[in-house]
C-alpha cells in the first residue's frame, strides 16, 4: 500500500482533486496496466499505462475515446441519466492533452473511477448476463449515428478473421519458440475450419452485412454492473471502438460470458456453452439494438459467436507460438490453456449448433 515516487510524479501531470494516498494494481485486463488511485478527497481514479506496442497511435486512440465519451455523455444527459456513472470520464492532463508521456516514453491516462460496481470474469446468472446484453445492444444503438469516418482504426484488421488466420499460419511456419510440434492437435483443429473463417467477412464484402460502430471487445469484465442490483452501469475499455460487424460484438460476449468455465480453465471438461446464458444475452442484445439489426445480421449472430471464438483460439495460440508477447500472462502455458478453452467451446457450439439459431 502507498504511492511510489514515480507514480506520484506522473499523477502530478493530471487534473486530479485531492492528494493521492494509494495506488494499487486493478482489474484483470490482458492488455493495459491498470491501477486504482485513492485520494484524500471524494474522487478516486483509474490510472492506466497504455500498451503502446499494441496501440501505436496514442493521439488517435485518445481522440476516439474523448470524442465518443463526449457524444455518449450528451445522449445520457438527454435520457436523464448520470454521465459520470454511465460512461467513462477522461481526466485531462495539465497541459491540456489527454495523456502523459513519462521519461521512459510510456503513455499514461487517467479516468474517473466508477464506484459501487462489480466487474465479473464469469456470468453468475442469466439475469445479469441479460442485463449486459441489453447494455451492449444499447451501446451500439446509441452510436448508430456517430460519424464513423472520424474514428481512427486503433488496431488495423482487428477482427479480420482471415488475416488472423494468415498470422496464425505464419507463426506455425516460423515456429520461433519450437512449440508447434507440441500443439499439433490444436493446429489441426483450427486448420480443419479454414473455410468457415471468411464467411462473415465475405458477406460484409458483398454488402450483405452492414458495417456498424462496434465496441470490438465485449467481454463481461469490460462492462461494470451495479454492486447491489447487478444492472449494467457502464461499458469500459473503449480502446477498440471502430467500424465492425455486429455479429462479432455479440459473439465476443458469448465467447467469454456464456462459457461455463473461465477463459484459462485447465480442466476442459468444464468448458461448455450455456444455452441458458446464450439465450439470455441474445434477448438482451436484440432488445438493446432496438430493431436496428437486419434479418441477415440476426441470422448470422450465432456464426459470430463461433467465428470469434475460433479467432480468439487462433490469437491465443499465435501468441503462445510467438513466446507470449501480446497478452499478459501470470503463468507458463496460460495462453495455450486459453487457446484450448476456446477450441473446446467451438466444438461445443458445433454440437449445439441447431439450438443456437435465433431465427
Ligand atoms: P485492458 O485493456 O487491459 O482490458 P481495461 O480498460 O479493460 O484494460 O481495464 C481493466 C479493468 O479495470 C476493467 O476490466 C474494469 O474492471 C476496470 N476499469 C477500467 N476502467 C474503469 C473505470 N473507469 N471505473 C472502474 N473500473 C474500471
Ligand atoms: C483482450 O483488453 P482486454 O483484456 O479487455 C483483447 C481482446 C481479447 C481478450 C481476450 C486490444 O481484451 O481482443 O478478446 O483480451 N484486447 C485487445 O480475453 O487485443
Ligand atoms: Mg478490458
Cell numbers standing for residue 25: 494494481
What pLDDT does 124 receive? 87
> What residues does 117 pair with on adjacent strands?
226
Domains in the chain, CATH or no CATH each? 5-115 (3.30.200.20), 126-356 (3.90.1200.10)
Confidence tier at 258 by pLDDT (50, 70, 90): very high
In this structure, the number of other CB atoms found within 10 A of the CB of residue 203 comes to 17
pTM summary value: 0.97
Per-residue pLDDT reduced to its tens digit, 169-181: 999 999 999 999 9
> Ligand 3 center to residue 327 CA distance, Å?
11
> Average pLDDT in the 75-102 region?
97
- pLDDT at 1 (0 to 100): 67
Q: Render pLDDT for 201-215 as a digit per residue (tens, 0 to 9).
A: 999 999 999 999 999
Cβ–Cβ < 8 Å for 108, 49: yes
Ligand nearest to the CA of 164: 2
Q: In the structure, what pLDDT confidence band is assigned to residue 52 with cuts at 50, 70 and 90? A: very high
Q: How confident is the model at residue 2, as a pLDDT?
A: 87
CA 16 – ligand 1 centroid, Å: 18
Task: Please report, for residues 96, 114, 132, 168, 220, the alpha-carbon distance to residue 254 in angstroms, rounded to integers and kept in the order given.
Answer: 39, 25, 11, 23, 9
Q: Which atom belonging to ligand 1 lies closest to the Cα atom of 30?
A: 3
Amino acid at each position: 500500500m502507498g504511492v511510489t515516487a514515480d507514480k506520484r510524479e506522473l499523477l502530478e501531470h493530471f487534473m486530479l482533486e485531492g492528494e493521492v494516498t494509494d495506488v494499487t494494481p486493478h482489474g484483470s485486463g490482458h492488455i493495459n496496466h491498470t491501477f486504482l488511485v485513492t485520494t484524500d478527497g471524494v474522487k478516486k481514479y483509474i490510472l492506466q499505462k497504455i500498451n503502446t506496442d499494441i496501440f501505436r497511435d496514442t493521439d488517435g486512440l485518445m481522440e476516439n475515446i474523448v470524442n465518443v465519451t463526449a457524444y455518449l455523455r450528451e445522449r445520457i444527459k438527454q435520457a436523464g441519466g448520470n454521465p459520470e456513472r454511465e460512461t467513462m470520464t477522461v481526466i485531462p492532463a495539465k497541459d491540456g492533452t489527454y495523456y502523459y508521456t513519462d521519461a521512459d516514453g510510456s503513455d499514461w491516462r487517467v479516468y474517473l473511477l466508477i464506484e459501487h460496481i462489480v466487474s465479473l470474469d464469469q456470468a453468475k446468472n442469466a439475469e445479469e448476463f441479460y442485463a449486459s446484453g441489453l447494455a451492449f445492444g444499447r451501446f451500439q444503438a446509441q452510436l448508430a449515428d456517430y460519424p464513423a469516418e472520424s474514428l481512427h482504426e486503433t488496431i488495423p484488421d482487428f477482427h479480420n478473421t482471415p488475416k488472423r488466420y494468415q498470422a496464425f499460419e505464419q507463426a506455425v511456419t516460423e515456429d520461433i519458440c519450437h512449440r508447434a510440434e507440441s500443439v499439433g492437435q490444436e493446429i489441426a483443429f483450427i486448420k480443419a475450419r479454414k473455410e468457415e473463417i471468411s464467411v462473415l467477412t465475405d458477406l460484409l464484402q458483398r454488402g450483405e452485412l452492414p458495417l456498424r460502430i462496434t465496441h470490438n471487445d465485449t467481454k463481461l469484465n469490460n462492462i461494470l454492473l451495479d454492486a447491489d442490483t447487478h444492472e449494467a452501469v457502464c461499458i469500459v475499455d473503449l480502446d477498440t471502438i471502430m467500424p465492425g460487424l455486429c455479429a462479432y460484438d455479440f459473439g465476443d460476449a458469448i465467447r467469454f460470458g456464456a462459457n461455463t468455465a473461465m477463459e484459462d480453465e485447465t480442466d476442459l471438461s468444464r468448458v461448455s456453452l450455456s444455452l441458458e446464458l446464450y439465450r439470455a444475452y441474445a434477448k438482451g442484445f436484440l432488445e438493446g439494438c432496438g430493431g436496428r439489426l437486419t434479418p441477415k445480421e440476426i441470422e448470422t449472430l450465432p456464426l459470430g459467436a463461433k467465428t470469434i471464438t475460433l479467432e480468439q483460439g487462433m490469437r491465443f495460440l499465435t501468441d503462445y507460438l510467438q513466446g507470449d508477447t501480446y497478452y499478459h500472462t501470470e503463468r507458463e502455458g496460460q495462453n495455450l490453456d486459453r487457446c484450448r478453452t476456446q477450441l473446446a467451446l467451438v466444438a461445443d457450439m458445433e454440437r449445439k449448433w441447431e439450438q443456437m439459431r435465433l431465427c
